[in-house]
């Protein structure tokens, strides 16, 4: 292994910059002559806008412009789009209501941007916004997910009956119905997957900058995928042709999905900049983030798992209502469908699975992908129903799972829900997790807890996850509006410094280190001589960005493929310099060597020769050393793992404490174990947050009650246990690195482990988040004398 190559826990190169305040986030960037924007947002969840009078605001000190929906219309710009066409089971297209940049005639959620005030300073803009008079006609709001498509509910979009976006299905319904009818046992459960606010540490921000001379725009924005932002803003919003729009996403402070999407504010900043002929900056306040960053999850589900007499799963039937919020956000439609139902096989060889999904509009903040996106919802459902089935059958939950695992010999394995798993060994991580958790000692620990008056429970989760959504032809056939390949360019300089330009984007994941390790490993370049460049459409080749744990499995593989091209070209040059046949040249540890001899040229020498080709005959190779690769994977990658959680419940208060949490993941090959561990820690914290403390609360009028950190509870270190983390390894079969992806697993796998442990402790299910009061009430009800049956 090269020093600091694959497998080394190299310290993150980027952290010195971040922890010494040297990061350059959008809000750190100031353009000459910059003006500031404030968005006036609807205080109502649903209201007709009868008129907007901005005359007083326009006269206020420092105000340069007040924009409304009419200005967007006058500019001829369109609205935001949802980039994934999902078709209903009757073959009709999903119903995408218009998603204007600034409200046109109607506000559909609390936080919907109604007007934009641009002024010399931010405070002037904010002051003036109070003078904008909006004549609202407040309408009743549709809020609850499960009721949204019932008759009589307020209609979010004109002409979209019953707020129904689509009614989609996957799987063989007849086979499932038949298997359920014939089953020895059927476990039936209802689920609510709670809505979450993503809460990236850095609030969203944008600077729109119109250049009169070139008639082009530069947009600095907090984006996970600047090229996708450029594409959508150019081709769909219609701001400018792609070559007239440069999108820069510099350092970005976390996204968790919420910064994938194309948002109103960044488009509005571009328009405002053209109108006032100055750069226009907007940075969200935290209270804006709560209502305007796309939320996550929000499903209501009924599921039935059928088994034969031996507890072998014979069928799974699922019906889900998914809340899309007031508008279809950029990728919202694929989350409760292709990223959800396709995962319902889990680690099990259930032969028949059917899932039906009704997506609904409500007068709430739009919902879209959030760490895990669909997969946590699938995993929560499946791993809860499996554990419940084990309880009902009186079988140990680990044993029931093992009985149903897809065996290692069965790969590649075609699931009944479209995916083909390439590889896995589920028993391996289950075994390791049982050992690390000291499962054998659980009964003793439970007895000890009981002696102290506490209830102890243990819960499992054996998750499957699908990363690096691909290949493009397949996702295209399922409705995706884009290809999901990735690009990389490796560029050496005369002096051997290596620039890696990637189409992925790092916003906390540590790409600058991991990708440098790939170069160190493949090309023998010290990582300090590797610079990873990302986040600027004018610098990097077109790329699809970072989400779905794709950066390494797709983007990393593109880098490796580009490195192979560097080696191939280098071999030609080295062969000439060493007067050997190209076929006799080997490349290892940064040197080209004639096989079986000690004659060699370093990569640095070869690179120098490529740029100063004084000894290279015409026509042998082009000068220079710069190679590009585009990589479209053959399949998703399929990380999997076993999580075991042990909780202790205080019966007097209902407080749940996590006593131990074991996570054993199979991420395939691991490039940087320390970074992977960090990703798992963060994911677990978010998943445990969803299980225990996080949750959006809307009132009936559509006001978000949990709209600040005083009420929306984020996970903190002091509420989390010391995680016990380990990995097993089955290398991915269709990329040469053997990597799978690790960014979301923790958030996907952990909620059911926690919730199953609570159910085990208290004997009844409660919904997420399992707040002390809910647990206490469940205990109260449990302690009520049972009525005679």
Partner 1 sequence: MYAFEFHRPSSVADAIAALKAASDGKLMAGGQTLIPTLKQRLAQPSDVIDLGGIKELHGIRQDGNSLVIGAMAKHGEVAGSDLVKSVIPGLHELAGLIGDPQVRNRGTIGGSLANSDPAADYPAAVLALNATIKTDRRSIAADDYFTGLFQTALADDELITAISFPRPEACGYAKFRNPASRYAIVGVMVARTGGGVRVAVTGAGPCAFRLPDFERALAGSFSADALAGLSVSPSGLNSDMHASAEYRAHLVRVMAQRAVKAVR
Whole-angstrom distance, CA of residue 375 vs CA of residue 466: 8
Beta-strand runs (E) in 493-635: 498-502, 530-533, 585-588, 591-594, 600-602, 626-631
DSSP characters for 202-240?
Answer: SPPEEEEEEETTTTEEEEEE--S-HHHHHHIIIIIS-SS
> Which of 37/231 has CB closer to partner 1?
37
Report the run of H or E that residue 775 belongs to, with start and end: helix 772-783
> Which of 59/697 has CB closer to partner 1?
697
Binding track over 278-317 against partner 1, x by CB under 8 A:
---------x------------------------------
Whole-angstrom distance, CA of residue 608 vs CA of residue 614: 10
Q: What angle do CA 558, 539, 28 make, to 5 degrees?
A: 115
> Which of 506/771 has CB closer to partner 1?
771
> Which of 203/639 has CB closer to partner 1?
203
> Measured from the CB of residue 587, what is the shortest distance to partner 1 in angstroms?
54
- The alpha carbon of residue 666 and the mean position of all alpha carbons in its chain are separated, in whole angstroms, by 19
> Which of 431/650 has CB closer to partner 1?
650
> Measured from the CB of residue 695, what is the shortest distance to partner 1 in angstroms?
9
Whole-angstrom distance, CA of residue 142 vs CA of residue 653: 34
Whole-angstrom distance, CA of residue 562 vs CA of residue 557: 9
Whole-angstrom distance, CA of residue 740 vs CA of residue 745: 11
Which residue in the set 3, 15, 407, 711 belongs to the binding site for partner 1 (CB under 8 A)?
711
Binding track over 84-123 against partner 1, x by CB under 8 A:
---------------------------------------x
> Which of 37/398 has CB closer to partner 1?
37
Binding track over 671-710 against partner 1, x by CB under 8 A:
----------------------x---x-------xx--xx
> Which of 652/700 has CB closer to partner 1?
652
Measuring CA to CA, which residue among 198, 190, 171 is closest to residue 297? 198
Considering only residues 720 to 779 of the shown chain, the ones binding partner 1 according to CB under 8 A are 771-773, 776-777
> Which of 399/652 has CB closer to partner 1?
652
> Measured from the CB of residue 381, what is the shortest distance to partner 1 in angstroms?
25
Binding track over 122-161 against partner 1, x by CB under 8 A:
-x---x----------------------------------
> Measured from the CB of residue 631, what is the shortest distance to partner 1 in angstroms?
43
> Which of 182/705 has CB closer to partner 1?
705
Which residue in the set 29, 85, 395, 713 belongs to the binding site for partner 1 (CB under 8 A)?
713
Q: How many other β-carbons are positioned within 10 Å of the β-carbon of residue 24?
A: 11
# of chain residues touching partner 1 (CB under 8 A): 21
> Measured from the CB of residue 713, what is the shortest distance to partner 1 in angstroms?
4
> Measured from the CB of residue 783, what is the shortest distance to partner 1 in angstroms?
13
Between the alpha carbon of residue 251 and those of residues 29, 140, 620, the distances in Å are: 11, 41, 41
Report the run of H or E that residue 187 belongs to, with start and end: strand 185-193
Whole-angstrom distance, CA of residue 369 vs CA of residue 751: 17
Considering only residues 628 to 657 of the shown chain, the ones binding partner 1 according to CB under 8 A are 652-653
Report the run of H or E that residue 689 belongs to, with start and end: helix 673-692
Exposure string of 363-381, with b = 16+ CB inside 10 Å and e = fewer, is bbbbbbbbbbbbbbbbbbb
> Which of 261/712 has CB closer to partner 1?
712
Q: Which residues bind partner 1 (CB under 8 A)?
A: 123, 127, 287, 652-653, 693, 697, 705-706, 709-714, 719, 771-773, 776-777
């Amino acid at each position: 292994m090269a020093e600091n190559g694959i497998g080394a826990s190299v310290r993150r190169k980027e952290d010195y910059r971040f922890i010494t305040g040297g990061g350059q986030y959008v809000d750190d960037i100031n353009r000459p002559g910059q003006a500031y924007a404030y968005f006036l947002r609807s205080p109502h969840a649903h209201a007709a806008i009868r008129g907007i009078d901005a005359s007083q605001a326009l006269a206020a000190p420092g105000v340069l412009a007040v924009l409304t929906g009419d200005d967007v219309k006058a500019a001829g710009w369109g609205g935001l789009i949802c980039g994934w066409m999902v078709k209903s089971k009757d073959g009709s297209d999903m119903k995408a209501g218009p998603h204007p940049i600034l409200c046109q005639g109607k506000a559909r959620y609390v936080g919907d941007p109604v007007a934009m005030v641009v002024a010399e300073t931010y405070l002037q803009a904010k002051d003036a916004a109070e003078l904008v008079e909006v004549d609202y006609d407040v309408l009743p709001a549709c809020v609850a997910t499960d009721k949204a498509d019932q008759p009589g509910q307020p209609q979010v979009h004109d002409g979209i009956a019953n707020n129904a976006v689509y009614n989609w299905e996957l799987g063989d319904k007849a086979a499932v119905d038949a298997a359920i009818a014939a089953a020895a046992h059927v476990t039936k459960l209802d689920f609510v997957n709670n809505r979450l606010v993503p809460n990236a540490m850095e609030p969203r921000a944008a600077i729109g900058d119109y250049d009169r001379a070139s008639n082009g725009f530069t947009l600095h924005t907090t984006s996970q995928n600047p090229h996708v932002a450029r594409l959508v803003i150019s081709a769909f919003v219609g701001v400018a042709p792609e070559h007239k729009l440069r999108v820069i996403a510099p350092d970005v402070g976390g996204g968790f999905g919420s910064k994938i999407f194309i948002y109103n504010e960044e488009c509005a900043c571009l328009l405002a900049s053209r109108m006032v002929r100055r750069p226009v900056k907007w940075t969200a306040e935290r209270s804006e983030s709560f209502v305007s960053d796309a939320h996550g999850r929000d499903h209501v589900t009924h599921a039935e798992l059928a088994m034969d007499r031996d507890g072998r799963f014979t069928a799974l039937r699922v019906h889900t209502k998914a809340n899309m919020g007031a508008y279809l956000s950029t990728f919202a439609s694929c989350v409760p469908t292709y990223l959800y139902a396709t995962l319902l096989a889990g680690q099990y060889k259930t032969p028949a699975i059917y899932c039906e999904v009704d997506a609904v509009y409500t007068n709430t903040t739009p919902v879209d992908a959030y760490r895990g996106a669909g997969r946590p919802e699938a995993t929560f459902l499946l791993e809860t129903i499996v554990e419940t089935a084990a309880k009902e059958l009186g079988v140990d939950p680990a044993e029931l799972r093992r009985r149903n695992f897809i065996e290692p010999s069965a790969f590649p394995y075609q699931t009944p829900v479209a995916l083909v798993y390439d590889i896995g060994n589920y028993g391996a991580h289950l075994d390791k997790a049982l050992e690390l958790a000291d499962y054998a000692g659980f009964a003793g620990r439970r007895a000890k807890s009981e002696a102290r008056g506490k209830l102890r429970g243990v819960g499992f989760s054996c998750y499957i996850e699908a990363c690096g959504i691909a290949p493009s032809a397949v996702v295209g056939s399922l409705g995706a509006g884009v290809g999901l390949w990735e690009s990389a360019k490796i560029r050496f300089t005369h002096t051997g410094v290596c620039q890696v330009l990637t189409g992925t984007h790092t916003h906390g994941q540590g790409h600058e280190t991991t990708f440098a390790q790939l170069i160190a490993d493949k090309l023998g370049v010290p990582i300090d001589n590797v610079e990873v460049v990302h986040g600027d459409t004018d610098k990097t080749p077109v790329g699809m960005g970072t989400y779905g744990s794709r950066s390494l499995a797709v983007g990393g593989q593109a880098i490796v493929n580009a490195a192979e091209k560097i080696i191939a070209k280098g071999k030609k040059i080295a062969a000439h310099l060493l007067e050997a046949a190209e076929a006799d040249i080997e490349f290892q540890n940064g040197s080209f060597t004639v096989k079986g001899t000690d004659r060699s040229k370093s990569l640095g020498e070869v690179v120098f020769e490529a740029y100063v080709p004084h000894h290279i005959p015409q026509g042998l190779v082009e000068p220079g050393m710069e190679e590009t690769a585009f990589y479209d994977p053959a399949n998703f990658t399929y990380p999997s793992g076993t999580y075991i959680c042990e909780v202790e419940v205080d019966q007097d208060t209902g407080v749940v404490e996590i006593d131990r949490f074991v996570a054993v993941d199979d991420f395939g090959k691991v490039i940087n174990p320390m970074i992977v561990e960090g990703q798992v820690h963060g994911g677990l914290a978010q998943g445990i947050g969803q299980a225990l403390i996080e949750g959006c609360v809307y009132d009936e009028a559509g006001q978000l009650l949990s709209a600040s950190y005083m009420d929306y509870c984020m996970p903190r270190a002091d509420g989390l246990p010391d995680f016990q983390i380990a990995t097993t390894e089955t290398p991915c079969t269709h990329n040469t690195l053997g990597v799978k992806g690790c960014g979301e697993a923790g958030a996907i796998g952990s909620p059911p482990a926690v919730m199953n442990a609570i159910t085990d402790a208290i004997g009844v299910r409660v919904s997420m988040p399992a707040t002390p009061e809910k647990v206490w009430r469940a205990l109260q009800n449990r302690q009520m004398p049972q009525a005679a049956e």
